[in-house]
Structure 1
Amino acid sequence: MPVPVSLVGRSVRLEPLDVRHIEPLAAAAAEDRSSYAFTPVPHGIEATARYVAEALAAQEAGRAVPFATVRVSDGTVVGSTRFCELDYWQGPVIWPPAPRGPVGDPLAAIPDAAEIGATWLSARAQGTGINTEAKLLMLRHAFDVWGVRRISMRADARNARSRAAIERLGAVLEGVHRAHTRGLDGLVRGTAFYSILDEEWPVARVQLELRVATPRIAVEPSRPLISA
């Protein structure tokens, strides 16, 4: 399974998630929670401790690679994101297809496909370009280091702003699973699924690098720019 790694850009640093991030993550999530209607974000120290423990358990099981999102300018923790749904295609073909763990030495294995999800940012970090650069860092690592064939992302189908943000990454809509699950508001929701394939990555990378290189003016979003 992939080992934890730090990914560093101009405005954001993605650090391997650790228990030392519990208090700063709780502080980040407490700023203004009005934009978290579609995304599960822990509230309070106890909930954040559970959130981190669950993420680290998924990492230990080889199902996720979680990060704390840190603003480079002042070292402030402003959110979290992760690779999840890690899928390994080595070894004999299994049927029906389903995500499976690595074949052989798990410490040497790298995934053939993965999802980027569980992403959230503090209110003051939203709209500043941090999310875009964090996605660029993760996509670079997935495609250029791991050599994955596909990266997936998903969002509540009702979240038009989040879906637009995903599409601006160069992701292609695969479809909407109607009445897919319950949303945080208790209502049955559809889920929009997106992906970027390895052959699409070179074009998407150029576009993302141009976006990250262009200065941005911070805005106060009324709805989240994050995936669920």
Structure 2
Amino acid sequence: MPAPVMLHGRIVRLEPLAPHHVPGLAGAAAALRGPAEFTVVPHGEQEARTYVFQAEAAQLAGTALAFAIVTIEEECVVGATRFTHLDYWRGPLTWPLSAEPVAAGPSGAIPDAVEIGNTWLTPTVRGGPVNLDSKLLLLTHAFDSWGVRRVTLRADARNRRSRAAIERLGAVSDGVRRAHSRGLDGAVRDTAFYSILHDEWPGVRERISEQLAARAALRRAPLIPTTADAWRALAAPIG
């Protein structure tokens, strides 16, 4: 299991999820005003404490690395995300197969494939650069630091917003697994799977970087006049 790491971006910082994030998580989730439809989100400090405890337990078990998403400018927790389903390919296939169960990788082991998931954001930062910067940090760490061969992303097939966000990254659809699991609403859900392969990563990285640059340029652009008087002032000759 890889060691926890802090990832620094231009817009956000991904910090290993810890008890001191509980108030921030509760505050970020409060803006959702009710239970999340597709992703587990902790409401209130008690749920946030349980959320962090379970994330730490998953890390100790070698099954996940969870992060708090913290904005750099405001130093504010705006959500959470994690690496999960870490997959270790242990050399060539041998025959006969061993009867022993395959355990999680040992401490410090580097995965060959991983999933990015369990991501949620407070509404004010959805659809903006926060998710892009977070995904760029996670993907860069997975492909460039760990050297994984594949990153998987998935979403409830009904979650059109998340699926659109994944597709904007440049991830490739691997299809929809029907009746894959039970959803948070109790219904049997179909799950849409996507992946990014090692050889596809340079193109995806460039795509995300271009989207971040375009959003940054938009924020720097001057306001467009919206009244007739303002337009006439701009059109008037100088001098």
TM tier, smaller:
0.7 to 0.9
- Is there any run of 5+ residues in structure 2 with no aligned partner, and where? 220-239
Output the CA distance in 1 between the equivalents of 2:118 and 2:160: 17
**Mapping of 1:1-228 within 5 angstroms?**
1-33=1-33, 36-91=36-91, 93=93, 100-102=103-105, 106-215=106-215
Output the CA distance in 1 between the equivalents of 2:165 and 2:118: 15
Deviation per residue, 1:55-101 (Å, 9 max, x gap): 100001111111000011110011100000001112463769x9742
Output the CA distance in 2 between the equivalents of 1:154 and 1:99: 24
Q: 1:167 Cα shift? A: 0.9
- Contact 1:87-1:99 at 8 Å conserved across structures: no
Q: 1:48 Cα shift? A: 1.0
- The one-letter code matched in structure 2 to 1:172 is V
Output the CA distance in 2 between the equivalents of 1:116 and 1:60: 18
SS of the equivalent of 2:215 reads: coil
Output the CA distance in 2 between the equivalents of 1:157 and 1:53: 29
SS of the equivalent of 1:84 reads: strand
SS of the equivalent of 1:177 reads: strand
- Contact 2:35-2:41 at 8 Å conserved across structures: no
Larger Rg: 2
Q: 1:34 Cα shift? A: 5.9
SS of the equivalent of 2:37 reads: coil
SS of the equivalent of 2:28 reads: helix
- The one-letter code matched in structure 1 to 2:104 is G
Output the CA distance in 2 between the equivalents of 1:35 and 1:165: 21
- Contact 2:35-2:43 at 8 Å conserved across structures: no
Deviation per residue, 1:154-174 (Å, 9 max, x gap): 100011121111011111111
- The one-letter code matched in structure 2 to 1:77 is V
SS of the equivalent of 2:124 reads: helix
Output the CA distance in 2 between the equivalents of 1:174 and 1:112: 18
Relative CO higher for 1 or 2, CA cutoff 8 Å, sep ≥ 6?
A: 1
- The one-letter code matched in structure 2 to 1:127 is G
Q: What TM-score does the superposition give when structure 2 sets the normalisation length?
A: 0.84
Distance 1:169 1:34, change over 3 A: farther
Distance 1:183 1:89, change over 3 A: same
SS of the equivalent of 2:199 reads: coil
Q: 1:179 Cα shift? A: 1.3
- The one-letter code matched in structure 1 to 2:208 is L
Output the CA distance in 2 between the equivalents of 1:70 and 1:189: 31
Output the CA distance in 1 between the equivalents of 2:169 and 2:124: 21
Output the CA distance in 2 between the equivalents of 1:53 and 1:178: 32
Deviation per residue, 1:142-191 (Å, 9 max, x gap): 00000000000110001112111101111111111111122122222100
Output the CA distance in 2 between the equivalents of 1:35 and 1:128: 22
